[in-house]
Amino acid sequence: MLFLTVSFLFVLVRIAPGDPSQKYLSPNLSPELLEKVRTTFELDKPVFTQYVGFLKNSLAGNFGISYSYHRPVTQILCETLPFTLIFSLLVFAVQFIVGGALGYSAFRAKQKWRDKLLTNINLFLYAVPAFVSGLLLVVIFSVWLQWLPSSGIKTIGLSDAGILEKFFDYFTHMLLPVATLSLAGIPVYFKYFREAFEENQLKQFVLYLEANGISERKIFFRHLLPNSLNAIIAYAGVDLGILFSGALLTEVIFGLPGMGRLAVRAILEHDYPLVVGCTLTAGVLIILTTLAADLIRMKIDKRLTAGLSN
């Protein structure tokens, strides 16, 4: 998968419009200097030679120098990736916990008004794009009510503040971005949990336990919930990888210093090394989270590994 990702990325970058050497054009730039720029970035070599070099450098984590920042791409990624990882984990936790709680609540009230209300609310939230909900939250809580900041992750001038004050400042800055991205994911987890609970409740082992007088609480936590997590964990692995790759619109709307916003700027400025670094890092994260989800599923569901020893 990693090899295919690198190869596909090479093709996309080469067919993208714009020549990165044009970034350096000016009335005073001589043809000799322009050719030197192309030679420095290996744009004058045959395509196959470029591909082999691209493959070696990418797999080694050497993405070159950013055209825009004039710094190593790896160094830039190391500065933005930690924020994206922390931000993504927060959003993932909110989506998983809230979506699961709402799914359980709707499952316990099947076909009642609470179930229908929660289903309709989650359907509405799923239909609203993240950039629309983000702008609405900014207008309501930042412009009208003026309760929360509209962008950034901290207030300028709080370097001498105490730990609690800094924590509260970070907390208030992250509320709107986390809420914006979570509103788009909660309905998905709600649907997965709700349908998994209902599907497994009708299976024979659950009916057998109910017939033997086992309490609903014990059946749910010991049998129904573990058997419902299989498909949910598979989706969660992909979802977490996508979150790690950078929430493009959310980071742009709220001016967050993450990898998503960095990737958008790199694309707009035809910064090929930075585009490659951001995209390949996102691909690696998705592969790793998907692998981790599969390993967790194999751990909790022994049926997935039953045939491996044969």
pLDDT of 27: 52
Same domain, 290 and 225: yes
pLDDT of 17: 64
Instruction: Tally the domains of the chain.
Output: 2
Contact 194, 105 (CB under 8 A): no
Residue reference for tokens 């420095």: 40
pLDDT of 93: 93
How many CB atoms within 10 Å of residue 25?
12
Same domain, 119 and 191: yes
Structural domain contains residue 272:
yes
Structural domain contains residue 165:
no
Residue 22, burial from CB neighbour count under 10 angstroms (0-12, 13-18, 19+):
exposed
- For 222-242, the pLDDT digits (tens) are 888 888 888 788 888 888 888
User: What mean pLDDT comes out for the span 153-160?
Assistant: 75
| Helices and strands, counts by H and E, the chain | 13, 0
Q: In 3D, which of 68, 83, 77 has the Cα closest to residue 266?
A: 68
The C-alpha atoms of residue 159 and residue 169 are separated, in whole angstroms, by: 11
Same domain, 229 and 299: yes
Same domain, 38 and 93: no
Q: Which residues pair with 72 in a beta bridge?
A: 65
Contact 289, 234 (CB under 8 A): no
Same domain, 85 and 228: yes
Structural domain contains residue 152:
no
End-to-end CA, the chain: 27
Same domain, 202 and 272: yes
pLDDT of 99: 93
Same domain, 252 and 108: yes
Amino acid identity of 80?
T
Q: In 3D, which of 184, 205, 220 has the Cα closest to residue 104?
A: 220
- For 100-142, the pLDDT digits (tens) are 999 999 988 887 888 899 999 998 988 888 888 888 999 999 8
Same domain, 200 and 250: yes
User: What mean pLDDT comes out for the span 263-267?
Assistant: 85
Same domain, 54 and 107: no
User: What mean pLDDT comes out for the span 21-26?
Assistant: 53
User: What mean pLDDT comes out for the span 244-267?
Assistant: 82
Same domain, 52 and 199: no
User: What mean pLDDT comes out for the span 141-169?
Assistant: 82
Structural domain contains residue 104:
yes
Going from the C-alpha of 31 to that of each of 16, 36, 135, 191, 277, the distances in angstroms are: 23, 9, 47, 60, 29
Same domain, 6 and 120: no
Does 18 score more than 70 pLDDT? no
Structural domain contains residue 251:
yes
* Domain housing 114: 79-128+187-304
Same domain, 290 and 213: yes
Structural domain contains residue 155:
no
- The token pair at 84 is 């994206």
What pTM, to 2 d.p., does this model score? 0.82
- For 25-46, the pLDDT digits (tens) are 555 556 766 666 566 556 667 7
Structural domain contains residue 167:
no
Contact 274, 76 (CB under 8 A): yes
- The token pair at 140 is 């309501």
The C-alpha atoms of residue 174 and residue 146 are separated, in whole angstroms, by: 15
Could you tell me where the DSSP H helices lie in 16-138?
Answer: 31-40, 47-59, 73-108, 113-127, 130-137
Confidence of residue 179 (pLDDT cuts 50, 70, 90): very high
Contact 10, 264 (CB under 8 A): no
Contact 155, 169 (CB under 8 A): yes
Structural domain contains residue 175:
no
